[in-house]
Structure formats: C-alpha cells, structure tokens
Amino acid sequence: MAFSWSRVAPLCLVVLALAVAIVGQNYAAPPPLTPALGVCVLAGVWLLWRGTGSKAGGGQRTFGGLLRHYAAVKAVRWLGERQRRKLEADARNVTQVQEETLLKRLRKNANTCYGKQYDFRSMNGSGGFRAHHPVTTYEHYRELIGRVAAGEDKVLIAEEPSLLAVTSGTSGPSAVLLSTEDTNRDFFLQGVAVCLDAMHEAFPATNSLQRTTKFFYTPALRRSESGIPIGTNSSTPSSSRHVLHLYTTPAPALEVPGEKEALYLHLLFALKDPSVGTLESNFASTIFYAFIALQNHWQELVDDIEQGKVSSALALDPRLRARLEALMKPDPQRAAQLRAHFQNGFRGIAKQLWPQLNLVLAVDSGSNQIYGEMLRESYCRGVPFYSPFYAATEGLIGVNLWPQESSRRYVLCPRSMFCEFLPETSLEDASPHTLLMEEVVEGQNYELVITNASGLYRYRIGDIVKVVGFHHKCPIVEFQYRRGQMLNVRGEKVSELLFLGALKKAVGQWPPAQLVDYCCAESGIMGDSIGGSDPHYQVFLELKGVRNLTEEQRYKLDICLQQDSAVYKSFRIKGSIGPMRVQLVAEGAFRELQTQMMASSNTSPNTFKMHRVLHRREDAHFLLGKTIS
C-alpha cells in the first residue's frame, strides 16, 4: 500500500492526542506524569514525521519501509561518527595500533599448523615477526589453502573460513584466498561506516530517505570438497538482505541469476522511481556499462513502465516473473516523462531522469579511472562522485576521508591490516627490506605488504601506491598500478598509469574520438597471428565518434608514450622495441570480452576489473577478431 505523509501525519497527531486524553481520564495517578507523557509522545511523533516526511524525496513508499529506512540512516550515522572518532585516535598513535593489530593476529592463530611452524607464540612484536617470517607471495599459500578447502582445520587460521574468495585475476590467473568473519566485520566497521560518515558530512543531501539504485548481482557460488563456499568476496544481494529496503530494486529481482536480465531489472525499477538519490556499485565500470545498456534498451524499458509489465524477452522463471509483474502498475505519465528525456539525448541524462540525484558512489580509481571520467563527461554530468574505499580480496586497506576532492586519496586503516612498505626501487630484490607506516616518505612509491585477519602474513599484494601525505601520523596513499599490469617487452616496465596518460593525450588529438575502453598485449603472446617483427605493444581501442584512424594518428600514441617515458623512447630509438600496432575494435567488444573473461576465471560482475595488459592469448585473439580498423 502506498503511503502519503501529507495525508497521514495530521491524522496520526489527532489519534495520538485522543489517546493521551483517554489515558488522562482513565489513569489519574500520578496526575503530573500523564500530560508530560502525552507531550513527549506528541513531540516524538512530530520529530519522526519531520525526520522522515521531509526527507522521503517523493515517490510511493510504504509506511514500514520509510520507518526502516529512517532507523537505518540514524543507526549508521551514529555508528559512522563513533568509528570515525576511533580512526582519528588510531591515526595519532599509528605505531602502537599497528603493533596491537599484528599481535592480535599472531596470538589468535598461534595454535594453527602455520602458527606453530613460525612460532607465533614466541613473537612479542613486529621486530621478531619481520626477522623470522619471510616476505611471501601466493605460491607460499597455494598448498595450504588447498588443505583448508579439503576440510583440514587450523591450517592457517584458527576458525573455519566463511568463504574461499576468488580474486579478480588482474595480475595473472585468479587466486583463491581465505575470507573470515573478522575480515567482513572490519570492512563494515572500519570501512563502510566511516565512509558513510564522510559522505553524509560532505554531501548532506544523502542523509535523506531517498532510495539508492545499487547495481550488484547474485554470484554463482561453488562448494569446495568440504562444503566451503567458493566465490567472490564483495557486496552481494544476500550479504545485504537486511538493508534491501534502501534500494530501488525489489528483492525478487535480486534472485535473477543472469547478469543481462538482472541489469535490465535494476534499470526498470530505477526508472520507475523519479526520486532516486544515489547510484551505487563496487566499481564505476559497472555503472558505465549500465548506462550503455540503458542507451540501447530505453524504448523497451519505457514500454514496460507504460504498460506495467516486464519484458517478455527476459529469460525468467515463470513464478519469478509473476512476482515481479505483481510489482508493476501501468504508469503512462512517468513513461511520457522518460521518453521525452531520452529523445533529448544522453548527455547529462542521469540528472534528467532523477532530478534529485545527489551522488554516484563507486570506486573510480586505478583501472576504473577512465569509466569515472567518461561518466562525469557524459551520462552523469553535474553529479558528484565519491570513491569511498581502497580494498581488495585481501580486505580493507584504506578509506577516502575527502569525498569532494578530485584526487582519490585513501588514509590507511591501521586496525584492519598490519602494513609494510617495499620501496619501488627494491621490488626485484631477493630479500627485500620493508618499512613500517612511521618510516615511509611522502612522495615515494611502495608496494604494499600486508598481514591480515585471513591467514596472509607479510604478503605482497602487488599494488604500488604513492605516499602523498599523512593524516596525523597515518600515511595517505594514491593507487598507482598493479605489478602484473605492466608492459615489459625489453625491461622498460611501462605501468598502467603511465600508458593511460599517454593514451588520453593521444585521443585528445583525434577529434571527435572519445575513449570507451582499451587494453594492450605484448607481442610475444600473440603468436604467429601478427607475423614476425620486433617486440612491440598490440593496443586494442574501443572509441566513440570515429570508425577509422590514419597511420599518422595511430603513430601519435607511440609518440605520446615516448614523451612520457624516457626508457621506452630509448628502446624505440635503438630499434629494440618496434612501433605500437593500434587496432580499433567494434562497439561492445570489451563488454563481450568481459563476459568471456569472467566465465574463464569464475569472477563475478561485482568484482570484475578489466585487465589493461592481457596475459592470455585467447583474450588477445578474441579482440583481434573484433578489429574493424
């Protein structure tokens, strides 16, 4: 049943006033308490009405849904303020907090097979731990995690893992790591709660009761031989079941297993609600491709809203379809509004569809940087963006306390992980020496080495970060690149950040071209398909606005990279590296590649990140087959 505050709130006040009068007549003792109680009740209802009715943002909402939303906002706000105060205190006392975090992990897991092997019980600080435990990579844990998956207890951690978490595989084959309740609790308390506090402070309008459209999907879970779930470690509909009333997508739609069908339903129910306040997803790429789908299917979506149905083209279970169609009512007025907006074009369409849209909430740093830029320039023009977390399958790493800044800076969370820093100049050393939080230098690049709550000890996660400052005494970092995502055919080591900068400069010289997506492959993985030549980069681009590039335009990219990388330029001058080969691929090629890569790696749409350097020959050949120029 739809609920209207303007009609019901006065009635509530009248009913409560009558109730107070009755209480006053039938319960005379003690007389002074009854009027006071009545005044308190009336004041409480008035405050509740002001707090919910004034923030509901329009749209048809049920009374119960509004109250649950109001309670959730208030509870999270209180928790966020509390956790923010804790982070501020920890940031002033980083050395002690890091020692406490490490010792907590070591003592909890001292009686495991691994803890006994490295004598965790005898370690009383980071000095002894670093002296006796090596810096590790995934190969160090592969066999141990296999034993956990088979059902062996207390191998790496004291408790049973809640999930065998599959990584996104951007630096090579997907790995399987352990995830625990401690990891999830830390992520929520130290990450989600703190970021929501920062968000509400920076964007007060998000403190309203407008609903959020969250693009997330139900992943396909497998089971290990001992029954432990295997899947991606991210926000999913099942992990968010207690707060689904905050989202525009109804619960039945979140049961749909297919990404294509689920995305259509996310868009359908978002379009029905003109008062959406936030667009949210783990990564900006998910929101970008949602708008691509909207641009391709808006007529079908508008027809569904106009007629109050769900498209017959969707492959849905008949019972699930019936539940969804029960939520649809013909709305020709909303359909007419939407049709008019779409016919006016898609530049800035988000604000046209949802005039009260306050925020896009998604990570848009690292490999998602280009998607954030494209959204800001096109579909979501005029809408603020907030990139809240720096996190990985290994757990929460940092939080962004500066939502309104254009740079994506993250203060490290000292109670989430014990962090060490490997200087960029020492990445190839056989026995590298690491630094602690209090020892790093502003302006320098480091690889992160972490000890977490899920059985990883002094583990190189492959992320290179730059220390850009300190919050009190805690390092603030910017993500730079993944070690496994470097182009390196002759030892030149061109990072993703460096290549993207050159690519954006080149595209700027190809008007009216707009970059949609890109990736590269080293010529060595291409085999005989490209013929014999000097080692070089094979570059695949999806562009808007052009269908062809001249040879001179293609060569611009090579020149731009030479301007930005002296090492690459020296190899080009000597002829050790050949000129880039730039291929334009068909529209939608990268979306198809994403589907293929997810299928081969068991990665979920919730966690997928496009690989900027391809390592599998079949992926490079797939794009080669999509070449149009």
CATH for 457: 3.40.50.12780
Domain boundary among 341, 366, 383: 383
pLDDT at res. 400: 98
- Residue numbers of the domain that contains 349: 204-383
Co-location of 258 and 346 in the same domain: yes
Q: pLDDT averaged over the chain?
A: 88
| Whole-number percent of the chain with pLDDT over 90 | 74
Peptide bond into 535 cis (omega under 30): no
pLDDT at res. 324: 96
389 pLDDT more than 80: yes
Co-location of 377 and 438 in the same domain: no
In a domain, 23, yes or no: no
Nearest to 502 by CA among 418, 563, 414: 563
pLDDT at res. 174: 76
Residue at 605: amino acid letter? P
| Contacts for 383 with CB less than 8 Å, ≥ 6 apart | 279, 350, 351, 357, 358, 359, 360, 376
Cβ–Cβ under 8 Å, residues 479 and 465: yes
Nearest to 398 by CA among 370, 423, 366: 366
Domain boundary among 352, 383, 414: 383
Q: What is the DSSP string of 378-445?
A: TTTTT--EE--EEEETTEEEEE-S-TT-SS--EEE-TTT-EEEEEEGGGTT-SSPPPB-GGG--TT-E
In a domain, 37, yes or no: no
Across 115-154, b (16+ Cβ under 10 Å) vs e yields beebebeebeebeebbeebebeebeebeebbeebbeeeeb
Cα separation, 450 vs 105, whole angstroms: 12
pLDDT at res. 172: 61
Q: What is the band of 625 on the pLDDT scale with cuts at 50, 70, 90?
A: very high
In a domain, 9, yes or no: no
In a domain, 46, yes or no: no
Nearest to 308 by CA among 340, 277, 333, 291: 333
Query: For 358-384, what is the mean pLDDT?
Result: 95
Cα separation, 192 vs 212, whole angstroms: 15
Co-location of 374 and 296 in the same domain: yes
pLDDT at res. 239: 67
CB-count burial class (<10 Å; 0-12, 13-18, 19+) for 606: buried
- 415 alpha carbon, distance to own chain's centre: 21
Query: For 554-570, what is the mean pLDDT?
Result: 96
Co-location of 376 and 396 in the same domain: no
Write the pLDDT tens digit of every residue in 447-487: 999 999 999 999 999 999 999 999 999 999 999 999 988 99
Write the pLDDT tens digit of every residue in 341-359: 999 999 999 999 999 999 9
In the block, tokens 């062809």 appear at 548
Co-location of 95 and 156 in the same domain: yes
Three-state SS sequence of 184-195: HHHHHHHHHHHH
Backbone angles phi, psi at 256, to 5 degrees: -70, 125
Higher pLDDT, 232 or 267: 267
Q: What is residue 621's three-state secondary structure?
A: helix
Query: For 511-524, what is the mean pLDDT?
Result: 94
Cα separation, 403 vs 385, whole angstroms: 8
Co-location of 416 and 472 in the same domain: yes
pLDDT at res. 451: 98
pLDDT at res. 39: 52
Co-location of 309 and 161 in the same domain: no
In a domain, 74, yes or no: no
Co-location of 333 and 371 in the same domain: yes
Alpha helix segments (H runs only) across 158-222:
181-186, 193-202
In the block, tokens 């352990």 appear at 178
Query: For 281-302, what is the mean pLDDT?
Result: 96
Bridge partners of 177, per DSSP, are: 165
422 pLDDT more than 60: yes
Q: What is the DSSP string of 22-75?
A: HHHHH--SSTTHHHHHHHHHHHHHHHHHHHHHTTS-SS-B-HHHHHHHHHHHHH
Name the pTM for this structure: 0.87
Co-location of 94 and 145 in the same domain: yes
Q: What is the band of 189 on the pLDDT scale with cuts at 50, 70, 90?
A: very high
Domain boundary among 331, 356, 383: 383
Lowest mean pLDDT of 71-75, 297-301, 455-459, name the range. 71-75
In a domain, 6, yes or no: no
How many domains does the chain fold into? Answer: 3
Co-location of 242 and 259 in the same domain: yes
23 pLDDT more than 50: no
Cα separation, 485 vs 157, whole angstroms: 30
Co-location of 509 and 459 in the same domain: no
pLDDT at res. 41: 45
Query: For 399-426, what is the mean pLDDT?
Result: 96
Cβ–Cβ under 8 Å, residues 211 and 59: yes
In a domain, 447, yes or no: yes
Co-location of 219 and 173 in the same domain: no
In a domain, 435, yes or no: yes
